[in-house]
Amino acid sequence: MRIAVLGTGSVGQTLAGRLAELGHEVTVGTRDVAVSLARTETDQRGVAGFGAWSLANPGVGVATLADAARGAELLLNATSGEASLAVLAAAGAENLAGKVLIDIANPLDFSAGFPPTLFVKDDDSLGERIQAAFPQLKVVKSLNTMTASVMARPVEVGEGDHTVFLSGDDAEAKKTVGVLLAELGHTDVIDLGDITTARGTEMLLPLWIRLMQATGTDRFNFKVVR
């Protein structure tokens, strides 16, 4: 499948590399290709500069947001929650129309420091805002409840025995995403319902962050035991 990954950070790098490894034709979309490729320094959190990552992953294409979106059948929103709407606008509504977007972003607000709060919650969600702004896009919220390495290789935590959620208005789009999740190694996929159910998974983030602090690791995931 031709996949555009929007975002050059940790989540974008990890998923782009993994999806290419699985045989997909992956292009990372970025605002300014030259600026992104010029980043070669690893940051404080250990995330590779995108230019260095790209050199090490020659099988993954790099393009402007619009070009990446135009050429793709399916897109991943791997940008920060605060940037998501602007990035998708830059990709161009005409390049998104009719396509599936896996929305991995969370509406984290770090303006008051750590731990972050959420800039939208409870009676609305980032997933819904994206769906409302781009009505012809088929938004499926998923994977936003775990760290990037667990999204990409779930088997590495608890032998993959944990849960991933789906929220979205389009049944066919959720089916497509479900197939991709299975390819990544996810074995327990729960379809929560329409895009308003993204409120639930986005509001899991405050607990996720406190669990990371309490356990000292981000290598965990939730399993719905039933």
Write out the residues near its own copies by the rule CB under 8 A: 112, 117-118, 121-123, 157-158, 161-162, 165, 190-193, 197, 199-201, 203-204, 206-211, 213-215, 217, 219-226
Q: Residue 23 or residue 216: which is nearer to its own copies going by CB?
A: 216
Q: Residue 86 or residue 207: which is nearer to its own copies going by CB?
A: 207
Kindly state the smallest distance separating residue 165's Cβ from its own copies, in Å: 8
Q: Residue 71 or residue 206: which is nearer to its own copies going by CB?
A: 206
Kindly state the smallest distance separating residue 84's Cβ from its own copies, in Å: 19
Strands 117-118 and 100-103: unpaired
Kindly state the smallest distance separating residue 77's Cβ from its own copies, in Å: 20
Q: Residue 175 or residue 223: which is nearer to its own copies going by CB?
A: 223
Collapsed DSSP state (helix, strand, coil) of residue 67: helix
Cα dihedral 80, 203, 168, 191 sign: positive
Kindly state the smallest distance separating residue 164's Cβ from its own copies, in Å: 12
Kindly state the smallest distance separating residue 153's Cβ from its own copies, in Å: 14
Cβ(164)–Cβ(155) below 8 Å: no
Q: Residue 59 or residue 158: which is nearer to its own copies going by CB?
A: 158
Closest CA to 63 of 25, 18, 19: 25
Closest CA to 102 of 19, 34, 173: 173
Task: In whole angstroms, give the CA distance from residue 126 to residue 120.
Answer: 7
Query: How many CA atoms lie less than 13 Å away from 31 in the CB half-sphere?
Result: 10
